[in-house]
Structure 1
Amino acid sequence: MSPFFAELAIATNFSFLRGASHAEELVMAAGAHELSAIGITDRNTLAGVVRAHAAAKEAGIRLLVGARLVLQDGFEVIAYPQDREAYGRLTKLLTLGNRRAPKGECHLGMRDVLAYGEGHCFIAMPPAIPGKDFAGNLKLLAEAFSHSVWIGLAPLYRSDDKRRHAVIARLSRETGVPLVATNDVLYHMPNRKPLHDILTCIREHCTLKEAGFRLSANAERHVKSGEEMARLLADWPEALDATQEIVNRCRFSLDELRYEYPADNFSENGTPQELLTRLTWYGAREHFPEGISEKLERTIRHELAIIEEKAYAPYFLTVYDIVREARRLDILCQGRG
């Protein structure tokens, strides 16, 4: 029987100049390796999860929606919301980071993560050589979110992998933070490595000839099967088991989302729909003082019914306010049919 394994650190091409595969390709590869669940975690963004969600539903694969938070001090941590409320906090966190940074950047610190991190499962992703800074941030995270933090254990396919894994395992014992297995995926198949090299050169502003050690030494950062990950991390079987615990705890799905118009107090004397209805009939009488024809009345009632069914009244009231203010200021304002 093959061991359970879910790949929980996957970057799509929405991790700009880092991920070298489309979300659909990564889902396809996960299906080919018979993975029952995967997680999409692009750098400081949720941009890749929508396409992954559609592809995963078609393939019958559980998708965990997450983001890889890259903080200003270099600490990297994957955040997976466990429910709808936590997803809302994650989107607020990313909005905060984007609004305080120049376009294309996201400025976040550990204080921000601690403030918005309730209800998440976190995977701290150690650098090649974990140092005191990584350990310090890990400790802060674990103290704030006990039993909801893991350390990512990924093979780097280097000669010192066993020593590195031993260092990370010792840090796990010292902090009480368990390990979780991942291949820290950047593309769906090995043959996408040349494209990843080109993306790296564009990001680093160098040629392939000049890139040197800035390029990965191998083409191993692709989706792997549970059997292969169990072989690579044979000394830490508990790290593969941890992927199942995270999958079981993170039940949030994009299917839970519905359009929610921002709340506004349009009127103290009724609902937005009632206010829109009153304004509509008032406007109709203003435009047709000689009387409203039966055909026009049927059309208005029909469209008001659709607006009520779709709960669009707040939107139309916002447009009404914008147009009214534009006319008051003598600003050209025209609509579309």
Structure 2
Amino acid sequence: MRAPIQKTRTMAQTVRISLDAMGGDRGAEVVVPGAALALERRPDISFSIYGNSDIVAPLLQAHPRLREASTLHHCEVSVAMDAKPSQALRQGRWKSSMWRSIEAVKTGHADVAVSAGNTGALMAMSKFCLRTMANIERPAIAAIWPTMRGESIVLDVGATIGADAQQLIDFALLGGAMARILFSIERPTVGLLNIGVEEVKGLEEVRTAGRLLREANLRSLTYAGFVEGDDLGKGVVDVVVTEGFAGNIALKTAEGTARQIGSYLRSAMNRTWRAKLGYLLAKDAFDRLREKMDPRKVNGGVFLGLNGIVIKSHGGTDAEGFAAAVELAYDMARNDLMNKISQDLKSYHRGRFEPRDGSEGDK
């Protein structure tokens, strides 16, 4: 469980979170107990829960504290995990649990929405309902990445396939604002994912983005240059920026490798009686390793660049994992992510057009 982040936002004591209770492989069976766990650790949360009341209400009976802190909104429609985004948008708009949980953010009835549902449908609905922020052309999904130093933020991991130089700069600003909240760092370090650290390597758009970030001399972040794929696990920077195609492949590769290593270890420990004895002698070390590799601890992708905060939980997670996504949502709302992003974007674009050293600036 991530330690609570120091509160920096002046706002009502309660953080209002809307939940899509029907999203994910097991829907409300995971969402309700997950929300209950999050409420135990973050008691200043109120929930608006959207889902089929015939399913959700009986589950709430087992969690009286959560029931008291929640308002249940009946929704007859839920978005299937295999639904195409366009199909979900046509059939699920206005009345699905996913749409209504996002709409609560738009109307100001919630500070942040959380769903474990279909990623493509969630992004499509979020973009349609909330729209992108001023000066942001495309949104990004930011993931928390466990590293040897602790954690980093990687974006985009699947929202935008292909990105030009300006979009990569936008992602750097978005990720930097999130890192300032998550890691309590005044100027997080940001790197661009590339095939080498030399300035002459990589795609032209990546090289251009690197040059522009160096020249911008941003106050909200420190540009550290290019990073390579093997730097992701080292944690050499606080934020790694890439476009969604490469980012999603990197994410899925890391998840698959973690499962592969876990499978190898389980097989090796059960092979002989000596291996089993060795496991017992080193159980504490293996327990720490298992906790470090537990994907539930870093569950939750943040949709950045929209006029509102949406958190995507892994669809196959359990209650503990969903609780982690809710707590991430809490941290982003409590520490005023939207305002920090807005300030960083205004500062960057103001710097682009203000004259420097007698020059006229960009036109």
TM-score of the pair, normalised by structure 1 = 0.28
Please say which structure displays the higher CA radius of gyration.
1
TM-score of the pair, normalised by structure 2 = 0.27
